[in-house]
């Protein structure tokens, strides 16, 4: 019996913890799960919390490639939950280890750079699935479903909307479920928008318009943010003329992040501040300070039953039997309460699903690939169902479905 060794880079972080939990709950007893993190104390505490011999902690600095390769030898799959700026570094470690690779996405520009490693992964017969969370990830695979149901594809539009009516105590000033640094970048970098067969870039947070999601989410106002779907979908499906991504956040959350952005806290340019000893100055990036403070907040305490719901949607417009048709594919989740995880299950679990499919030989195409070209749809969706996520598909005549 083959045993797999799953290494979660950034495994002690917000998303990494969910990925580790998924692997603990779903992997055979003989598999090993490695929480690999720069913060060894957090990694060790997380590994110990699972009370399982198959979960171990390792301190890793992926920018010290030689040391990382020594520490992670024997890995079957590297699951990258670290900040996306490290994606290329982690991919180089995977190449040196000759193992498979999965990550959560690269905010468009990094994704484009990552795909250039296709030939190197193909040469060693390994697969790098680039952008395998909820969005990108589930959105991309649902685009494949829609495309397969049509004879030709003209438009692909990805939308995300959610609601949370859970009662909490001790709510922080700015509740974030993943890196505030990434959120600030999403709110400040110009989003890609593929239109009329050409790649363009629009204003951050623009394009907000009402969109009706299934109940209980209802009408939300998704806006453009920079995302990796637009980096790959136009080129994965021949003939596509329009590709867009929009996400709806809570209005109060949007206002608070916009305030931080407009204050200059999304900047990566170093500013000089007095050193703690008062003997000089040090240079720090405002976005790193904002992220450090935000991620150090104590999380809110759930004071009632979990009442959350999220819809990740992909709308594919094209032609079927010579007529215009639209395929709407929705992934719905109310979280995974039995694991103590809310809506972030649809971001943290897909990397674990893809990693298990790589280890089992269900994903076979070698190279650095986006999910829509690498991941078989039906086995993937069946695994999502075991994690509280359901995928529903509907066909509609014409192209009138509002996006």
CATH assignment of the domain containing 29? 3.40.50.720
| Cβ contact 311:213 at 8 Å | yes
Pairing relation of β-strands 100-103 and 77-80?
A: parallel
Q: What is the pTM of this model?
A: 0.95
Residue 278 confidence (pLDDT): 84
Residue 93 confidence (pLDDT): 98
Pairing relation of β-strands 242-247 and 152-164?
A: parallel
CA–CA dist 246, 234 (Å, integer)? 16
Q: What is the CATH number of the domain that holds 246?
A: 3.30.360.10
CA 24 to chain centre: 20
How many structural domains is the chain composed of?
2
* Pick from 335, 339, 340: nearest CA to 390: 335
Residue 190 confidence (pLDDT): 97
| Cβ contact 132:374 at 8 Å | no
CA–CA dist 83, 145 (Å, integer)? 29
**Are residues 176 and 282 both part of a single domain?**
yes
Residue 177 confidence (pLDDT): 84
**Are residues 123 and 151 both part of a single domain?**
no
Residue 128 confidence (pLDDT): 98
**Are residues 301 and 314 both part of a single domain?**
yes
Residue range of the domain that includes 170? 138-341+389-397
Structure tokens at 49: 């919390």
**Cα separations (Å) of 364 from 100, 244, 369?**
11, 29, 11
**Are residues 181 and 108 both part of a single domain?**
no
Ranges in the chain, pLDDT < 70: 1
Residue 1 confidence (pLDDT): 54
In a domain, 402, yes or no: no
Residue 393 confidence (pLDDT): 98
Buried b (16+ CB within 10 A) or exposed e, 182-191: bbbbbbbbeb
**Are residues 42 and 163 both part of a single domain?**
no
**Are residues 235 and 374 both part of a single domain?**
no
**Are residues 373 and 329 both part of a single domain?**
no
Residue 105 confidence (pLDDT): 96
**Are residues 180 and 228 both part of a single domain?**
yes
Residue with tokens 């959610």: 162
In a domain, 86, yes or no: yes
């Amino acid at each position: 019996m083959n045993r797999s060794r799953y290494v979660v880079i950034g495994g002690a972080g917000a998303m990494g913890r969910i990925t580790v939990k998924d692997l603990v709950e779903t992997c055979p007893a003989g598999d090993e799960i490695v929480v690999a993190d720069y913060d060894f104390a957090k990694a060790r505490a997380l590994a110990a919390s699972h009370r399982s011999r198959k979960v171990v902690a390792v301190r890793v600095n992926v920018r010290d490639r030689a040391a990382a390769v020594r520490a992670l030898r024997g890995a079957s799959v590297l699951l990258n939950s670290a900040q996306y700026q490290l994606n290329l570094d982690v991919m180089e470690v995977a190449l040196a280890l000759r193992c498979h690779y999965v990550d959560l996405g690269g905010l468009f520009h990094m994704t484009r750079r990552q795909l250039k490693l296709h030939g190197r992964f193909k040469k060693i017969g390994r697969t790098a699935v680039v952008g395998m969370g909820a969005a990108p990830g589930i959105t991309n695979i649902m685009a494949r479903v829609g495309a397969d149901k049509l004879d030709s594809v003209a438009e692909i539009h990805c939308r995300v909307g959610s609601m949370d009516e859970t009662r909490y105590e001790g709510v922080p000033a700015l509740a974030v479920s993943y890196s505030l640094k990434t959120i600030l970048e999403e709110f400040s970098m110009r989003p890609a928008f593929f239109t009329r067969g050409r790649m363009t870039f629009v204003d951050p947070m623009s394009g907000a318009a009402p969109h009706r999601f299934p109940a209980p989410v209802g009408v939300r106002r998704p806006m453009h943010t920079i995302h990796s779907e637009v980096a790959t979908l136009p080129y994965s499906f021949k003939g596509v003329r329009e590709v867009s991504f929009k996400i709806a956040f809570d209005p109060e959350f949007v206002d608070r992040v916009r305030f931080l952005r407009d204050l200059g806290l999304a900047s990566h340019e170093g500013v000089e501040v007095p050193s703690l000893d008062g003997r000089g100055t040090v240079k720090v990036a405002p976005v790193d300070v904002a992220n450090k403070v935000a991620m150090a907040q104590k999380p809110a305490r759930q004071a009632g039953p979990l009442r959350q719901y999220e819809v990740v949607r992909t709308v594919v417009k094209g032609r079927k039997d010579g007529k215009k048709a639209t395929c709407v594919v929705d992934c719905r989740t109310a979280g995974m309460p039995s694991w103590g995880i809310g809506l972030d299950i649809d971001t943290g679990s897909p990397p674990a699903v893809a990693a298990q499919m790589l280890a089992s030989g269900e994903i076979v195409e070698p190279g650095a690939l986006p999910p829509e070209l690498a991941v078989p749809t039906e086995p993937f969706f069946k695994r999502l169902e075991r994690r509280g996520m359901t995928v529903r598909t509907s066909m509609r005549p014409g192209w009138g479905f509002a996006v």
